[in-house]
Structure 1
Amino acid sequence: MTDIVRADDGRRIAVEQSGDPSGRPVFLLHGTPGSRMGPAPRGMLLYRLGIRLIAFDRPGYGGSDRLEGRDVAAAAVDVRTIADRLGLDTFALVGRSGGGPHALAAAALLPGRVTRVAALVSLAPQGAEGLDWYEGMTESNVVEYNAAASGVGVLETRLAPKAAAIRANPESLISGLYQELSPSDRQTVADLGIRRMLVDNFAEGLKHSAHGWIDDAMAFSTPWGFDPADITVPTLLWHGALDGFSPVGHARWLADRIPDARVIVQPGVAHFGALDILPDMLPWLVES
């Protein structure tokens, strides 16, 4: 069931919980584009591990109001707001794809509350010293981030029609990316259960507008509002070696920057491998 949490500025934040209501809390931050309805571990597994999984729509997606001009760091405020409303003192975080930078932001900016953080197939900040940000990146993402560099109006011209097409046919996002998918990613999205979750995820996230997608891309392409080096909790970075949507060099850069970070680069898999690996991350996230 979806709950609506009110931010201090009056914005609605749509929140979805699953698993054990009395379990150890873990926030799951969705990809780009995406929503709180994105692929998640099965409830039976969450109960067995004693985990209360909390997902929410970032501003502009699904049931959450837009926060125009937000940076990556703004996610920390929404995580704190949700945790406060739910009465949670401490919690772990995991972010997948576009959720990775936002999970890292909350870990950096909420000291004493975040216990552990995992970022799966995450981007690094644009302008990261010593990183060729575009090296190995798929053409569609290069075009998207170049559009973001030209300004929000240019990006909206590109993404608004794509979002409208996805609203009309949510399968179109997957089919549109198919030529850029690695064989391992094609195998992952061929699974009917995963494909159904992805379709529902995209449909929910973009059901009103492209604003969440636009604002995510702008946030990734401008200063993030925090330094990953400020993260002091144990951090796990997972990446598929063949990822072209967020190339593996991004994870290695983050691992070098974050003091207590461990990076796992898995050969033979790519971006959507994060869907398969997420359940394996959960026991680590709730370790004492």
Structure 2
Amino acid sequence: MAIERRKVSLADGRDVEFLVTGPEGGLTLVVHAGTPSGLVLNAKVREAAIERGLRVLQAARPGYEDSTPRPGRTVGDLIPDVAAVLDAIGAGEFVAVGFSGGGPHSLGCAALLPDRCLAAASVAGVAPYTAEGLDFLAGMGPENIAEFGSAARGWEALSEYLDKEASALAGVTGEQIVAAFGGLVSDADKAVLTGEYADDMAESLNGAIRNGIAGWRDDDLAFLADWGFPLADLGGRVAIWQGDQDNMVPFAHGRWLAAHLPGARVHLEPGAGHLTMTVTAIGDILDDLLDMAGRR
């Protein structure tokens, strides 16, 4: 099915750019992409969703693509934007999946839109920066340690760091993506970063920085701040997927979330990397979501 690229204007004057595809009568799957990400709907996700009759919605967070920046935003601040885009396409109930930096936003949907979000999954998603008993940086690749170290020093230090990173990434191709990620990708991830998936990833990175680093920077700062919603009362409506070969978001993050989300479905996957489950397990992830939502 064709992918439609649209934009909605919000009551506060901001614009949100988004993609939508799939059958209009299908249950909506809200996709929260990682950090940084432009408006590119991963082909594996799209195909698996449409096979299950789902309508797919992916919105660019503020500062990415043509979505208006929103400095100082929290993770929770994004959830009303999701509701507004759902309203714009005439969708009511939905399920959500978030990959990497999209994981907290997926959990936010379950927490802040409980009457609409039937189930949510966090796939290789970060835990809170101030999580008790978790060393947030331990096990991360050197690039992420440098990035979050800059974020901890504040807006100016992070902006300086990301400006350099964005310059280095500009124009990256699928064939260059493994080298561009450096120490952030494990051998498991390198094995799947080929062909169409690598091309999608490169296109997404280029889209993310097309209009500057605002989206990337504000994502990072939001992860380090209070997320703006509680985790403890999400009940049986969320699933945590995490691999033990992840150099971007280490396995300990998934274990922490699993231990602190009572009733969550937990999938701690041996041998899986940060990116692999998008390729190898997306069908299982969506089936699990639909089962939680009572729609399988």
Is contact 1:116-1:234 (8 Å) kept? Answer: yes
**Distance in 2 between residues matched to 1:206 and 1:38, nearest whole Å:** 16
1:47 Cα offset (Å): 3.1
Which AA in structure 1 matches 2:253? H
CA RMSD across the alignment: 1.7
1:181 Cα offset (Å): 2.0
Unpaired runs of 5+ in structure 2? Answer: none
Query: Match of 2:122, SS?
Result: strand
The TM-score normalised by the length of structure 1 is: 0.94
Aligned match of 1:77 in 64, 74, 80? 80
1:20 Cα offset (Å): 2.2
1:89 Cα offset (Å): 2.0
Aligned match of 2:287 in 273, 283, 288? 283
Query: Match of 1:92, SS?
Result: strand
User: Structure 1 residues 67 and 174, CA, compared in 2 at 3 Å: closer, same or farther?
Assistant: farther
Q: Number of paired residues?
A: 287
Could you tell me which residue of structure 1 aligns to residue 168 of structure 2?
Answer: 165
1:233 Cα offset (Å): 4.6
Could you tell me which residue of structure 2 aligns to residue 135 of structure 1?
Answer: 138
1:259 Cα offset (Å): 2.2
The TM-score normalised by the length of structure 2 is: 0.92
Which AA in structure 1 matches 2:180? G
Query: Match of 2:249, SS?
Result: coil
Aligned match of 2:180 in 166, 170, 176? 176
| Amino-acid identity (%) | 32
Could you tell me which residue of structure 2 aligns to residue 61 of structure 1?
Answer: 64
Which AA in structure 2 matches 1:281? I
Does residue 35 (structure 1) correspond to residue 38 (structure 2)? The answer is: yes
Does residue 24 (structure 1) correspond to residue 22 (structure 2)? The answer is: no
Could you tell which deviates more after superposition, 270-279 or 38-47? 38-47
Query: Match of 2:121, SS?
Result: strand
1:43 Cα offset (Å): 4.7
**Distance in 1 between residues matched to 2:43 and 2:13, nearest whole Å:** 28
**Distance in 1 between residues matched to 2:288 and 2:75, nearest whole Å:** 25
Could you tell which deviates more after superposition, 167-176 or 139-148? 167-176
The CA deviation string for residues 173-219 of structure 1, in whole angstroms up to 9 with x for no partner, is: 64222344211111111x21111111111111111101111001111
1:6 Cα offset (Å): 1.5
Which AA in structure 2 matches 1:9? D
Is contact 1:95-1:118 (8 Å) kept? Answer: yes
Does residue 4 (structure 1) correspond to residue 12 (structure 2)? The answer is: no
**Distance in 2 between residues matched to 1:8 and 1:170, nearest whole Å:** 37
Could you tell me which residue of structure 1 aligns to residue 216 of structure 2?
Answer: 213
Is contact 1:24-1:286 (8 Å) kept? Answer: no
Aligned match of 2:268 in 254, 265, 269? 265
1:87 Cα offset (Å): 2.2
Is contact 2:142-2:183 (8 Å) kept? Answer: no
Is contact 1:107-1:233 (8 Å) kept? Answer: no
Does residue 87 (structure 1) correspond to residue 90 (structure 2)? The answer is: yes
User: Structure 1 residues 180 and 90, CA, compared in 2 at 3 Å: closer, same or farther?
Assistant: closer
**Distance in 1 between residues matched to 2:81 and 2:46, nearest whole Å:** 24
1:274 Cα offset (Å): 2.8
Could you tell which deviates more after superposition, 133-142 or 159-168? 159-168
User: Structure 1 residues 48 and 169, CA, compared in 2 at 3 Å: closer, same or farther?
Assistant: closer
User: Structure 1 residues 45 and 105, CA, compared in 2 at 3 Å: closer, same or farther?
Assistant: closer
Query: Match of 2:130, SS?
Result: coil
